[in-house]
Amino acid sequence: ERATQSQQTHRFSTLIISIMTHIHKNLRVLDGNDQIKGLLTIIRNQDTSRADFIFYSDRLLRLVIEEALGTLPFDKIQVTTPTGSVYNGVKFSSKVCGVSIVRAGESMENALRASCRDIRIGKILIQRDEETGLPQLFYSKLPQDISSRHVLLLDPMLATGGSVMKAIEVLKTAGVDTSRIIFVNLIAAPEGIEIMAKEYPEVKIVTAEVDEKLNEKRYIIPGIGDFGDRYFGTTD
């Protein structure tokens, strides 16, 4: 029975990914192998300790960061190996920076720094207006030359898409071409992917897994809880 449920879950997940990648042509989801599934299982478990949550989240974050870096443009280059042979390789053809959506997005900065030495990282703070419910910009600090860079926009969760779209507006105002933005996250809801496909189809999305839906409270289901609270230890 458990094997049957697992097979059904796998088929459902594969179906969702197929539908979402059809809706959003620039969506990339990590290969759903057992290692990825195992890491996601640990961080989704409500009984996982904070230490384990951080450790296994960091492993997953490194994987999605590396996947996102693979979407950047490369130039061909030849190098000579210690054997005197010529190797036909590639190198980054564009400068890159990171921008984290405070607070949860800051959890992804270490994974980015581990992958890109001396990378510049900006910050955007967005909070919901209590009266209108709309996302409001409270603070932004971006690299001065951000308009000439590809931007890895960092936030572990994509729910309604309100915060990330507000962050994209901030980047656009700073002169960033939206086709040079890569939104990197761990878990995405179909509703968030759909609104991104409608408003910013040229923005790439790289995620570890696509979940089932948002509930009536706009929480991602099955979800992971409040990622920032669990990562930074601010749960009750």
Q: Which helix (H) or strand (E) holds 156?
A: none
Give the model confidence (pLDDT) of 2-42 as tens digits: 556 555 566 667 777 888 887 888 999 998 899 999 999 99
Give the Cβ contact number of residue 141 at 10 Å: 11
pTM: 0.91
Quote the CA–CA distance of 199 and 205 in Å, as a whole number. 13
What residues have CB less than 8 Å from 24, skipping those under 6 apart? 193, 194, 196, 197, 201, 205
Per the residue annotation, which of 34, 83, 132, 236 is the catalytic one?
A: 132
pLDDT digits (tens, 9 = 90+) for 44-92: 999 999 999 999 999 999 999 999 999 999 999 999 999 999 999 999 8
pLDDT tens per residue, range 171-221: 999 999 999 999 999 999 999 999 999 999 999 999 999 999 999 989 999
DSSP assigned state of 94: S
**Helix ranges restricted to H, the chain:** 2-23, 34-44, 50-69, 109-115, 162-173, 190-199, 227-232
* Residue 229 is among the residues annotated as catalytic for this protein: yes
Active site residue 128: yes
Given 128, 173, 177, 235, which residue is catalytic? 128
